[in-house]
Amino acid sequence: MGEVIADVIALLGGVAVIVWGAETFAEHLASAAARLGVTSFALALLLAGAEPEELATAVAATLRDSPGIAFGDVIGANAAICLVALGVGAVVAPLPFGPRVRRYALFGLPVGAVAVASMWDGRVGRTEGAILVGLYIAYVAAIWIAERRPPALGETAELEEAHEPSRRVGRELLLVLAGLAAMVAGASLLVEGVRGLAKGDDTQARLSLTVVGFATAFELVVLAWSATRRGISDAVVAAVVGSFAYNATMTLGAAALVRPLRIADAGPIRLPAVAMFAAQPGQAGSNRPGHRRCSCVPR
């Protein structure tokens, strides 16, 4: 009984540390980037990528030889950001689905399909991992070329709208690094808690599909709420679509590059993987001429 309580505490503690780290990372990234003379996207990509919580958790899981957690985190987080984050944002105000977001979504469809195909047999080797990482690079490059500016992915979607840069770049950069370190430490603690509560790959995957996936996606849910309330609703949809692509490629691919992912039975992740793909934002509807809104109903 004592071990179970300790594992639950580790899981909850890991979630709390991840959320704090993600919030600190996102809050101070824009100021640090502005003072360093680079875009928020470039600094985020350099330090941790667009979705550092999921990346840290998946890599921590594969390092601890828990591939079920890595699979579950990618699938569960993507389902949570598409359904919960978009749903929360839409509760506050209609979410626009303009040309920029349409481009993200269009390019994201083959990305999601390749990710599901890679996971289908419960095995993602280093070669597949390298392909997934390369696919993310191609995704970013295609958007960058089309828009002639860096894409707004994940939490970085809101950062270009951020406040005036601080004059204390050292403090801002230190807080960004502290947030990154907290996410790594929280991910390790979270993985240990899940490993203690669920011994097999299938049970670890099921727990990760729900608890871990939602926990690592929680920062984007908060971003969706706050950004929509401040009128930056376009950033919410861009963040969700971009985050989906990042998790499906970079997060899964990086975890496989660190150590090939293999689970004995792929059954528990197949239906959730299909549901994850179906949960990508659907075709935009229209309420009136000149106004497009995101359809948050899965396809």
The answer to whether residue 179 is domain-embedded is: yes
Assigned token pair, 17 = 């540390």
Cβ pair 50, 153 in contact under 8 A: yes
Instruction: Say what the pLDDT of residue 296 is.
Output: 45
The rounded average pLDDT for each run of 10 residues, N- to C-terminus, in the chain (299 residues) is 81 83 72 64 50 84 91 92 85 73 78 93 95 89 72 53 54 81 83 81 84 80 72 70 86 94 92 91 45 43
Domain that holds residue 139: 2-293
Task: Tell me whether residue 299 is in a domain.
Answer: no
Q: What's the CATH code of the domain at 279?
A: 1.20.1420.30
The answer as to whether 142 is a domain residue is yes
Residue 39: per-residue pLDDT: 57
Residue 91 lies in a domain: yes
| DSSP secondary structure letters along 167-222 | S-HHHHHHHHHHHHHHHHHHHHHHHHHHHHH--SHHHHHHHIIIIIHHHHHHHHHH
Q: Euclidean distance between the first and final Cα of the chain, in Å?
A: 43
User: What is the C-alpha separation between 97 and 120, in angstroms, rounded?
Assistant: 30
CB atoms under 10 Å from CB of 234, counted, come to 20
Give the pLDDT confidence score for residue 198 in this predicted structure.
76
Q: What are the residues whose beta carbons fall under 8 Å from the beta carbon of 95, sequence distance 6 or more?
A: 86, 89, 228, 233, 234, 236, 237, 293, 294, 296
pLDDT computed for residue 46 by the predictor: 47
In a domain, 298, yes or no: no
Find the helix packing angle between 213-229 and 233-246, rounded to 10°.
Answer: 160
Q: Alpha-carbon distance 271 to 265, whole Å? A: 13
Cβ-based burial of 272 (10 A; exposed 0-12, middle 13-18, buried ≥19): buried
Residue 117, domain member (yes or no): yes
The domain tally of the chain equals 1
